[in-house]
Amino acid sequence: MKKFKIAYLYYDLMNLYGENGNIRYLEKELKEQDLDVVIDYITIGDKIDTSYDFYYIGCGTLNNQLIVLKDITKYKKEFKDIIDSGKFVLVTGNAIELFGCEIFNEAKTYKGLEIFPYSVTISDVEVDYRTVGEQYYKTELVPHSIIGFVNKSSEIDSINNNTYGSVTDRNISPLFKVIDGFGYDYDNNKYDGVYYNNFYGTYLIGPLLVRNPYFTDYLIERICKKMGTKYKKNKRDGYEYLAYNEYLKNFYEKLNN
């Protein structure tokens, strides 16, 4: 059996909204593909290296995000290698902000990993001005709609190759198109997330892989292809599929037809 190594990064800091569900679901699905899954829990004080096949970071409080930012920016080179070499990276919630160039908060500017050409503004009055709500997105990767939840007080200002072209020349695409809900910025609300090679970033919080099993199945197929193992078709009859279908039926029937 081929080994598949997952790095669950900052599991004790970026775990605000049931993010463990993503790792647990991924592990289960990969095991069904006869991959020997190993999960390493990595946080402050541990070392991040490029030996993993899959990296995950979830959503955290502002304080925890800043603790993580200080630590993760020690690994700029590693993350460039990880992302450019097409390893799988999934980031959910405000973890997406770590991968941009700059973060502005309370008149302070923090440097990000400088991998993608965007800056982020975090509201100074976090509690009273939050973007909260259910989201309904489309993606070019799978025919099935994406469902999920956003709870944030920050936005990606704009994705701008002109401003940050000297730092990064990676041309990224949005991961999702907003059908109903919010995008990564307040003004346009057209797109959410970042997609580049096998980097998947979104502001959606929580166990989105569990809630979007069709999307996860697509990821699993891609992983199998990359690992050179034969993809075994999912029967798609588990509770998570029923939950997904039921949710669309109850809340988005009109939009879906």
Partner 1 sequence: MKIGNSVRINKLVTKVCKLFGKNGSVYPGHVLYDFLKQEDVLDKVKYPKYVIAVTGSSGKGSTTDLINHILTDAGYDVCYNKSGSNGVLAAVTLILNNCDNKGNFLHDVLLLECDERHLKLIFKKNKPTHMIITNITRDQPSRNGYPDLVFQDIVDSLGNETKLLINADDPMVNSLKFTRKNEIVTYGIDKNDDSYTRFENIYPDFAYCPICNSKIKYNYYHYGHIGNYECPKCDFKRGNVDYEVKEINYDKHYIDVNGKDLYLNKDVIYAAYYTVAAYGLCREIGISEEVIITAINKDKRESKRGKELILDGRKLTMLESKNENNLSYYQSMKYITSRNGTKTVILGFDNVSRRYKFNDLSWLWDVNFEMLNDKDIDKIIVIGRFRYDVATRLEFAGIGNNKMVLVHDFHKLLDVIKDTKGDLYTMVCFDMTSNILNLVEEEENEKV
Binding site for partner 1 (CB under 8 A): 11-13, 15-21, 24-25, 28, 43-45, 61-64, 67, 126-127, 130, 132-134, 149, 151, 153, 205-207, 210-211, 238-240, 242-243, 246-247, 250-251
Q: To the nearest whole angstrom, how small is the minimum distance from the Cβ of residue 66 to partner 1?
A: 9
Q: Which DSSP category does 89 fall into?
A: E
Q: To the nearest whole angstrom, how small is the minimum distance from the Cβ of residue 128 to partner 1?
A: 9
Which amino acid belongs to residue 1?
A: M
Which residue's CB is nearer to partner 1, number 36 or number 246? 246
Q: How far is CA 90 from the centre of its chain?
A: 4
Q: To the nearest whole angstrom, how small is the minimum distance from the Cβ of residue 124 to partner 1?
A: 12
Which residue's CB is nearer to partner 1, number 9 or number 83? 9
Please compute Rg for the chain using Cα positions: 18
Which residue's CB is nearer to partner 1, number 119 or number 212? 212
Q: To the nearest whole angstrom, how small is the minimum distance from the Cβ of residue 71 to partner 1?
A: 10
What's the rounded Cα separation, in Å, for the pair 23 and 237?
Answer: 20
Which residue's CB is nearer to partner 1, number 5 or number 24? 24
Which residue's CB is nearer to partner 1, number 226 or number 252? 252
Q: To the nearest whole angstrom, how small is the minimum distance from the Cβ of residue 91 to partner 1?
A: 16
Q: To the nearest whole angstrom, how small is the minimum distance from the Cβ of residue 109 to partner 1?
A: 20
Which residue's CB is nearer to partner 1, number 123 or number 198? 123
Which secondary structure element, helix H or strand E, spans residue 137, and what is its range? strand 131-138
The count of residues in the chain is: 257
Strand order in the sheet with 2-9: 35-42, 2-9, 54-57, 88-92, 199-202, 194-196
Residue 137: which of 128, 127, 146, 124 has the closest Cα?
A: 146
| Distances, alpha carbon 80 to alpha carbons 75, 116, 147, 168, 224, in Å | 9, 10, 29, 10, 23
